[in-house]
Amino acid sequence: MPDKEKNIHFIGIGGISMSGIAELLLSEGYRVSGSDARKTDITERLEKLGAMIGYPQKADNIPKDTGVVVMTAAIHEDNPEYQEAKRRGLKIETRADFLGQIMKGYEVPVAVAGTHGKTTTTAMVSKILLAKEADPTISIGGVLRDIGGNFRVGGRRYFVMEACEYTNSYHSFYPRVGIILNVEPDHLDFFKDIEDIRRSFHRYGQNIPDDGVLIINKEIEGIKEITDGLKCRIVTFGMDESADYHAKDITYDEYARASFTVCHGGNKRKLTLGVGGAHNVMNALAAVAAADELNMGDEAIINGLKTFTGTNRRFEIKGELNGVTIIDDYAHHPTEIRATLGTAKKYPHRELWVVFQSHTYTRTKALLDEFADALREADHVICAEIYPARETDTLGMSGELLCEKIREKGTDCYYFPTFEEIEKFVRETLVDRDLLITMGAGDVVRIGDELLKKN
């Protein structure tokens, strides 16, 4: 851990992970400063907790007595604060490395990795520990309503966190309980191919100590490439009875919420989930396996999962507009899209509409056909322009091109270059009992918010 006599400065302190780390340090008496492009609810909260924050990012935001500067992978070398830190010879840490150091201060760090499902599963594990009153520290990639945000400062025993594979940032983490939910092609602007991704997850597994455990989906293709040579214990989960943890007797209610039996050895437990979808049965199996490793007990597992109703932007019911139900979902990978639409089909509705905003040009190019196939599960699709995130368009990709590909697959699809045009079309076209899902990892959520605001 850093010197408490020195200030810690965060470039981009308003980010969902950076803000959580800053809040943890503030709670432990560290002096914290930071910067961001603009004032937000998150930065205002940090200011109230004692952080000194400058807007926008500029060299003189870094206090004179700063000992460490923390930055994310999104910060480029031409950033004025990064340049100032280099000029002054300050110690510069990536967010992942810094968080990894913090994790080492906890007795039982738990890290949830995988191509998708990380936020939900991290939240499920967290809910079980909260139900047990185990006082966990929590770092999650979405807003968990039970803790009023994305970070909870708890005791020094349990640290439950979401571990993202992008730029191999999770290689800085050393969990005692590690989870791998799935391994599929994604982030191909960084990884070379699926083999490169499997090697990355294997490296993540190597960070688990000999007396730790890796909980992994047995249905992952090429699982041996990930688990071979690991010294930690391996526990598997999946739908097949050969998995250490598997589900039987699955039924769904009218809102696609599952009830099922978890089988582990001779132990059988009946669970009911508070969230919908078959994919959440898999997420729950991983969470149950982790909870058993932490000795949380059946009561906490049953109650925690039954009362878990999801995180923001994961099949989040936003409201109703003239009889049209509006739901928002973070799905931005074809597998996630299929899972979300599978859940939606079980939800009461007349016709299913999706406003889809693809995330990054590289992902769109790499998975163009897969996106079109996945979105065929909807009755109608509206394509927004691609959310560029960290990229510029050098690949000739566009929301209009994706729309054409979806039409080629036989699905009714529309393209509009602006959110305003999409909102106008929705108001004029959708009717009573239709279901509208705004979908993607960018800012597509704004469409539903604006529709409901003007209702």
Check which CATH number belongs to the domain holding 155 and give it: 3.40.1190.10
Are residues 63 and 198 part of one domain? no
d(CA 315, CA 317): 6
Last residue of a domain, one of 60, 93, 126: 93
Instruction: Identify the pLDDT of residue 1.
Output: 62
Q: Residue 110 half-sphere exposure, CB side, CA atoms within 13 Å?
A: 28
The three-point CA angle 315-271-436 to 5° equals: 15
Are residues 218 and 279 part of one domain? yes
Last residue of a domain, one of 62, 93, 124: 93
Spell out the residues 6+ positions from residue 138 whose beta carbon is closer than 8 angstroms to its own.
Answer: 122, 126, 144, 147, 151, 152, 154, 159, 160, 161
Domain count, the chain: 3
Positions marked catalytic? 118-119, 162
Flag whether 261 is in a domain. Answer: no
Are residues 281 and 363 part of one domain? no
Flag whether 254 is in a domain. Answer: no
Instruction: Identify the pLDDT of residue 260.
Output: 98
Are residues 360 and 422 part of one domain? yes
Spell out the residues 6+ positions from residue 89 whose beta carbon is closer than 8 angstroms to its own.
Answer: none
Structure tokens at 188: 């191909």
Are residues 369 and 277 part of one domain? no
Instruction: Identify the pLDDT of residue 2.
Output: 64
Structure tokens at 90: 């300050």
Helix (H) or strand (E) holding 20: helix 16-27
Q: What is the mean pLDDT of each run of 10 residues along the chain (455 residues)?
A: 81 89 92 94 93 96 95 87 96 93 94 95 97 95 84 94 92 97 90 95 97 97 96 97 97 91 95 93 98 98 94 86 94 92 91 96 94 96 93 87 96 97 97 96 94 85
* Model pLDDT for residues 323-337, shown as the tens digit of each residue: 999 999 999 999 999
149-152 sheet: strands from edge to edge = 149-152, 137-144, 158-162, 108-113, 177-180, 213-217, 233-238, 245-252, 257-264, 267-276
Are residues 195 and 108 part of one domain? yes
Flag whether 311 is in a domain. Answer: no
Contact indicator for 341, 354 with CB cutoff of 8 Å:
yes
d(CA 384, CA 357): 5
d(CA 148, CA 161): 16
Are residues 430 and 329 part of one domain? yes
Q: Which domain holds residue 401?
A: 316-453
The three-state secondary structure class of 414 is strand
Structure tokens at 60: 């003189």
Last residue of a domain, one of 72, 93, 114: 93
Instruction: Identify the pLDDT of residue 255.
Output: 84
Are residues 298 and 356 part of one domain? no
Instruction: Identify the pLDDT of residue 3.
Output: 65
Contact indicator for 304, 337 with CB cutoff of 8 Å:
no
The three-state secondary structure class of 193 is coil
How many other C-beta atoms can be found within 10 angstroms of the C-beta atom of residue 52? 16
Residue 319: exposure state from Cβ atoms within 10 A (0-12, 13-18, ≥19): middle
* Model pLDDT for residues 386-397, shown as the tens digit of each residue: 999 878 877 889
Are residues 121 and 21 part of one domain? no
DSSP bridge pairs for 268: 263
How far, in Å, are 63, 200, 442 from residue 391 at the CA level? 31, 22, 13
Are residues 184 and 294 part of one domain? yes
For strand 149-152 and strand 91-94, is the pairing parallel, antiparallel, or unpaired? Answer: unpaired
Structure tokens at 302: 């049953």
Are residues 348 and 221 part of one domain? no
Flag whether 46 is in a domain. Answer: yes
Are residues 442 and 296 part of one domain? no
